[in-house]
Chains A and B, each alone.
Chain A
Amino acid sequence: MFANTLKTPQEIQSPFIQWIPRNPRWDNFIRAWNFVKTPPIWKALLNSTIITLSSVALQLLSSSLVGYVLAKHKFRGSNTIFMWILAQLMIPSATSLIPMYLLMNWFGWYNTWFSLIIPAAFSAYTIFLMRQFIITIPDDILDAARLSGCSEFGLYWRMILPLSKPALAAIGLINFVWIWNDFLWPVVMLKDPNLFTIQVALNGLWDIREGYNWIPLVAGAITYATVPLIILTVITQKYLIKGWTGLSYAKR
């Protein structure tokens, strides 16, 4: 993708693959930036960032709260609730597309970011993962905090959240990539180009034909869409590895 941006259209289509083009055309990056017009690429990237960050933040908040309650509090019906949440995982997402569309319309959220952010703020899978993580935090730690005068919410805020950092980071990153790359749902819900996410904006490029220069410019635009994910992975890789090598609490 990156290399293709630096090539001419002829070089891209050539059967002899050049991994590093002989004459890299760096100006393609600038042209690719200006190439996306509805909305401009900076706007689409900004939209995607706002939507994805707020979705992930809300999702982590909701799933850690629900996960904490399900993991550490036994109350009448707690297992039933957990089973209902698990049952959610078995519904294929495609089947919920139209009902969700109707629901969002009914809320009056069509063509707003609410329709993207609010459904993404609650995820059965994330709740399940958080519950499984929090269940491994020893009860003694929480009891000790209770005896020290910590309130129930204080327990969540001062103990569960900081101790769940590796899980939150791993889950947050995976969901960030997922939501960032989502195309179908935003393209269904959004009409106003000014609200478009980067993926929807890239889709608009199919309608434009700007001579033979078209292909490297698309490659450039896609590269721009990928850069934030790469940066994020580099920053959080420490937590990512911790998260993947065992999503369980361990004495640190």
Chain B
Amino acid sequence: MVEVRLEKLTKIFDKKVVAVDNINLHIKDKEFLVLLGPSGCGKTTTIRCIAGLERPDYGNIYIGDRLVNDVVEKDRDVAMVFQTFALWPHMKAGDNIAFPLKMHKTPKNEIKNEVKKIAELLKISHLLDRMPGQLSGGEAQRVALGRAIIRNPKVFLLDEPLANLDAKLRVHMRVELKKLQEQIGVTTICVTHDQSEAMAMADRIAVMHQGKIRQIGTASELYDHPEDLFVAGFIGSPAMNFMDCTLEEEKGFLVSNAFTLEIPKQLIKDIKENATSSELILGVRPQDISVQEKEIPDSISSEVYAVEPLGHETIIDLKLGDQIIKACTHPTYTVNLGDKVWMKFDMNRMHLIDKKTEKAII
């Protein structure tokens, strides 16, 4: 049983830059947790703290039941894969993999067997005699993985493991990574800025922003029920459309300078209970907007501003007041620039966010 617990973890650089701000996180045994966030949000600092490469300024880190704040990195029994793979360029791939065992004074023939076993697991047996400079990106990453798992670490840390691979390989390796993690059954924390990567691999995702964890949940929880403005805007591609609006209570309308939308009674009740004011942000995913050529009830009229045919779908940019709203449509849907169209939001999948607190109401 290896759980990782972070309690009030805080890391401040140069006495002013708060990289990690009071984080509480509980990673379960054998869980694959992804820290997701834009660059500079403190996710890498967080796992470097867990690895012991950074000392936190406040807070506690537990690996298993052990408080590891004052344990040096080499005694924490964690392994890390770096974004750059960080293979030692003066050693053969096989020696790279063997190095952690060598450092722990494992007998020579045992090292040999272990390296062989790992190489077979990762399908790199033929690469062991090569120097890291002669390996392709994908091969180098397998070697880096092998080096990390050979010692059976308690915790497996991945820092942007796929960022240095080309797009096609990335899609392939994220599945491989997930499979590998299941196979060796080790608690894993992975850092990425790529949401599709995170959603494909993670058991749970923790979304970080400005040093804080905004929301923790499964991929679908984050997608369907974002808890605040940042998560709503960060998860999903293309990003969610946001429209400022106010609630007009008596009529049951959401009103902005570009549209008026009638909403169900129950929703009004929810808003009244949870919102701090009538100033709201309406969030609608592009996938939840249907574009109509004729006016239908509850639809909003707009004009086609741009069309982005992506092959598997077509994104239509619609002009609404001084804003551009993106809507996903079927790839066969054809429309011309400047056409007048009506868009209809899926009422059940709308998000309403309190403008002041930026917390989601529904």
B281 within 8 A of A: no
A140 and B86 contact, CB distance less than 8 A: yes
In the complex, chain B residues 81-134 whose Cβ is within 8 Å of any chain A Cβ: 82-84, 86-90, 99-100, 103-104, 131-133
Distance in Å: Cβ of A163 to nearest Cβ of chain B? 6
B90 — which chain A residues lie within 8 A by C-beta?
162-163, 165, 252
B53 within 8 A of A: yes
Distance in Å: Cβ of A118 to nearest Cβ of chain B? 31
A251 and B82 contact, CB distance less than 8 A: no
Partner of A143, one of B82, B87, B132: B82
A149 — which chain B residues lie within 8 A by C-beta?
74, 100, 103-104
B162 within 8 A of A: no
* Cross-chain pairs A/B with CB under 8 angstroms, 22 sampled: A138-B84, A140-B82, A140-B84, A141-B86, A141-B88, A143-B51, A143-B53, A143-B86, A144-B86, A146-B53, A147-B78, A149-B74, A149-B103, A154-B103, A159-B88, A163-B89, A165-B90, A251-B89, A251-B132, A251-B133, A252-B90, A252-B133
**Interface residues of A, Cβ cutoff 8 Å to B:** 138, 140-141, 143-151, 154, 159, 162-163, 165, 251-252
In the bound complex, what is the Cα–Cα distance between A151 and B75 (angstroms)?
Answer: 11
A165 — which chain B residues lie within 8 A by C-beta?
90
Q: Which residue of chain A has the shortest Cβ distance to B105 in the bound complex?
A: A149
Distance in Å: Cβ of B52 to nearest Cβ of chain A? 8
In the bound complex, what is the Cα–Cα distance between A151 and B132 (angstroms)?
Answer: 23
B89 and A147 contact, CB distance less than 8 A: no
B147 and A148 contact, CB distance less than 8 A: yes
Partner of A147, one of B73, B87, B133: B73
In the bound complex, what is the Cα–Cα distance between A143 and B47 (angstroms)?
Answer: 13
Question: Contacts A144-B80, A251-B133 known; A150 to B74 CB distance under 8 Å?
Answer: yes
B103 and A143 contact, CB distance less than 8 A: no
Q: Which residue of chain A has the shortest Cβ distance to B79 in the bound complex?
A: A147
A145 — which chain B residues lie within 8 A by C-beta?
88, 99
Given A143-B80, A148-B74, A252-B90, 18 more pairs with CB closer than 8 A: A138-B84, A144-B80, A144-B82, A144-B86, A144-B88, A146-B53, A147-B52, A147-B78, A147-B80, A148-B147, A148-B151, A149-B100, A149-B103, A151-B74, A159-B88, A163-B90, A251-B89, A252-B89
A151 — which chain B residues lie within 8 A by C-beta?
74
Q: Which of A147, A148, A163 has the most B CB atoms < 10 Å from its CB? A: A147
B88 and A147 contact, CB distance less than 8 A: no
Question: Contacts A163-B90, A251-B89, A251-B133 known; A147 to B51 CB distance under 8 Å?
Answer: yes
B89 — which chain A residues lie within 8 A by C-beta?
141, 163, 251-252
Distance in Å: Cβ of B277 to nearest Cβ of chain A? 48
In the bound complex, what is the Cα–Cα distance between A145 and B131 (angstroms)?
Answer: 17
In the bound complex, what is the Cα–Cα distance between A252 and B132 (angstroms)?
Answer: 8
In the bound complex, what is the Cα–Cα distance between A154 and B102 (angstroms)?
Answer: 12
Question: Contacts A146-B53, A148-B103 known; A252 to B131 CB distance under 8 Å?
Answer: yes
In the bound complex, what is the Cα–Cα distance between A112 and B82 (angstroms)?
Answer: 52
Q: Which residue of chain A has the shortest Cβ distance to B76 in the bound complex?
A: A147
B52 — which chain A residues lie within 8 A by C-beta?
147
Distance in Å: Cβ of A232 to nearest Cβ of chain B? 23
A154 — which chain B residues lie within 8 A by C-beta?
103
A150 and B53 contact, CB distance less than 8 A: no
B103 and A150 contact, CB distance less than 8 A: yes
Partner of A138, one of B86, B100, B133, B151: B86
Distance in Å: Cβ of B295 to nearest Cβ of chain A? 58
Mask: chain B, 121-156; 1 = CB below 8 Å from A; 0 = not: 000000000011100000000000001000100000
B100 — which chain A residues lie within 8 A by C-beta?
148-149
In the bound complex, what is the Cα–Cα distance between A61 and B272 (angstroms)?
Answer: 73
In the complex, chain B residues 46-88 whose Cβ is within 8 Å of any chain A Cβ: 51-53, 73-74, 78-80, 82-84, 86-88
Distance in Å: Cβ of B141 to nearest Cβ of chain A? 13
In the complex, chain B residues 135-182 whose Cβ is within 8 Å of any chain A Cβ: 147, 151
Distance in Å: Cβ of B104 to nearest Cβ of chain A? 5
In the bound complex, what is the Cα–Cα distance between A216 and B99 (angstroms)?
Answer: 59
In the bound complex, what is the Cα–Cα distance between A165 and B79 (angstroms)?
Answer: 28
In the bound complex, what is the Cα–Cα distance between A144 and B144 (angstroms)?
Answer: 10
In the bound complex, what is the Cα–Cα distance between A146 and B72 (angstroms)?
Answer: 9
Distance in Å: Cβ of B98 to nearest Cβ of chain A? 10
A150 — which chain B residues lie within 8 A by C-beta?
74, 103
Q: Which residue of chain B has the shortest Cβ distance to A146 in the bound complex?
A: B73
Distance in Å: Cβ of A139 to nearest Cβ of chain B? 9
Distance in Å: Cβ of B50 to nearest Cβ of chain A? 11
In the bound complex, what is the Cα–Cα distance between A150 and B78 (angstroms)?
Answer: 13
In the bound complex, what is the Cα–Cα distance between A41 and B197 (angstroms)?
Answer: 72
In the bound complex, what is the Cα–Cα distance between A252 and B100 (angstroms)?
Answer: 22
A252 — which chain B residues lie within 8 A by C-beta?
89-90, 131, 133
B133 — which chain A residues lie within 8 A by C-beta?
251-252
Q: Which residue of chain A has the shortest Cβ distance to B73 in the bound complex?
A: A146
In the bound complex, what is the Cα–Cα distance between A151 and B86 (angstroms)?
Answer: 17
In the bound complex, what is the Cα–Cα distance between A148 and B133 (angstroms)?
Answer: 21
In the bound complex, what is the Cα–Cα distance between A230 and B132 (angstroms)?
Answer: 34
Q: Which of B51, B89, B133 has the most A CB atoms < 10 Å from its CB? A: B89
In the bound complex, what is the Cα–Cα distance between A143 and B84 (angstroms)?
Answer: 12
Q: Which of B74, B83, B132, B133 has the most A CB atoms < 10 Å from its CB? A: B74
In the bound complex, what is the Cα–Cα distance between A146 and B99 (angstroms)?
Answer: 11
Q: Which residue of chain B has the shortest Cβ distance to A145 in the bound complex?
A: B88
